[in-house]
Amino acid sequence: MSTKTKQKKIGDYVKTTENSMKRGREKDGDDSESKKPKSGQVDLSSINFGCDKKNSKDKPWTMKIVSWNVAGMRAWLKKDVIGYLKKEDPDIFCLQEIKCTEKQMPEEAKLSGYKIYINPGEKAGYSGVALFSKTKPIRVRMGKEIKELDDNEGRVIEAEYEQFFLVSTYIPNAGQGLKTLPKRMKWDEKFRNYLKELDEKKPVILTGDLNVAHQEIDIANPKTNTKSAGFTKEERDNMTLLLEQGFVDTFRTLYPEKTGAYTYWTYFSNARARNVGWRLDYFLLSERFMENVCDCVIRSEILGSDHCPIVFYINI
């Protein structure tokens, strides 16, 4: 099976404007406050939190979704991430690997203005996902409520909105020495089937840490990592199957040639400073929904985890 998948090109979906600085919403003008860079976090004033691009129907973005694997929410909160989130101001944000229960979650994390949904999983301090949404979804399912998945590890939250399903996930890691690759393969299959059914009802926005770098362009060292968790042929092929089933890797479709675009860097050996990374975090979209997409951005400057946030702009 080939790991290459034909993805459509930019022009098929997105109308690239002349960096017009026009935004779907006028939210980012007030950089009068907090000029001072805070502890650990980068200076946020240089970041454009809006989106200059329009969708294929020349419409600006109306909704922003953020996904971030936080690698332990309690430690993450000590790194000035709330200031970033407030500036980013997404309509929905999805966190993976929170490694805590609702009870253990510090109050400062419970940002006002959001409905909060938490799927902590059973094992203490392991995995866990959360979803924050400004508007209340029609329905939210998570964990064992999604019977097809039987998720007891805090890996999935599904939120149904008027026009789409949003699925946030943290896909199982294949483990050191690939010792949990079989578990991963089983998960991938049932998750693929679950998404297929969901997609038949409404378009799906799938986001989160898919724990796979799909192509060689998605990893700094493809040659030396073919036996590493997250870049085995098995995992890459499973992602290909997902795409062939009617999902689109939005970032790669918008930026097919973009190298050095990663969302994860190991803490070892100063990998992030050297940009020795992996693209493991995605926005995958039901193909028929792609015409609405404005942009997909990797916020590689934002610190707080070994993953960085990714941002998705869409016109709904």
Active site residues: 170, 209, 307
Contacting DNA (CB under 7 A), which of 44, 63, 65, 71?
Answer: 71
Instruction: State the DSSP string of 80-131.
Output: SHHHHHHHH--SEEEEE---S-TTTS-GGGS-TT-EEEEE--SSTTS--EEE
Residue 100 binds to DNA (criterion: CB under 7 A): yes
Residue 246 binds to DNA (criterion: CB under 7 A): no
Contacting DNA (CB under 7 A), which of 44, 73, 293, 308?
Answer: 73
- What is the Cβ-side half-sphere exposure of residue 50, based on CA atoms within 13 angstroms? 19
Residue 167 binds to DNA (criterion: CB under 7 A): no
Contact region with DNA (CB under 7 A), list: 28-36, 51-59, 67-75, 285-293: 67-75
Residue 172 binds to DNA (criterion: CB under 7 A): yes
Residue 97 binds to DNA (criterion: CB under 7 A): yes
Please tell me the distance from the alpha carbon of residue 179 to that of residue 44, in angstroms, as a whole number: 40
> Min. distance of Cβ 211 from DNA in angstroms?
7
Q: What token pair was written down for 237? A: 């092929």
Residue 1 binds to DNA (criterion: CB under 7 A): no
- In this structure, the number of other CB atoms found within 10 A of the CB of residue 23 comes to 17
Map residue 177 onto helix, strand or coil. helix
Contacting DNA (CB under 7 A), which of 1, 138, 163, 267?
Answer: 267
Contacting DNA (CB under 7 A), which of 8, 9, 163, 175?
Answer: 175
Contacting DNA (CB under 7 A), which of 38, 41, 72, 237?
Answer: 72
CB 205 within 8 A of CB 166: yes
Q: Is 119 part of any known ligand binding site?
A: no
Please tell me the distance from the alpha carbon of residue 93 to that of residue 76, in angstroms, as a whole number: 15
Contacting DNA (CB under 7 A), which of 67, 173, 250, 292?
Answer: 173
- ∠ CA 174-154-94 to the nearest 5 degrees? 100
Please tell me the distance from the alpha carbon of residue 149 to that of residue 28, in angstroms, as a whole number: 39
- Dihedral class, residue 55 (left if φ above 0, else alpha if ψ from -120 to 50, else beta): beta
**Residue with smaller CB distance to DNA, 199 or 209:** 209
Contact region with DNA (CB under 7 A), list: 46-54, 133-141, 167-175, 218-226: 167-175
Pairing of strands 54-55, 14-15: antiparallel
**Residue with smaller CB distance to DNA, 175 or 256:** 175
Residue 180 binds to DNA (criterion: CB under 7 A): yes
**Residue with smaller CB distance to DNA, 104 or 300:** 104
Backbone angles phi, psi at 74, to 5 degrees: -70, -40
What is the binding site for DNA (CB under 7 A)?
A: 71-76, 97, 99-100, 104, 124-127, 172-173, 175-176, 180, 266-269, 306
Binding residues for Mg(2+) are 69, 97, 209, 211, 306-307
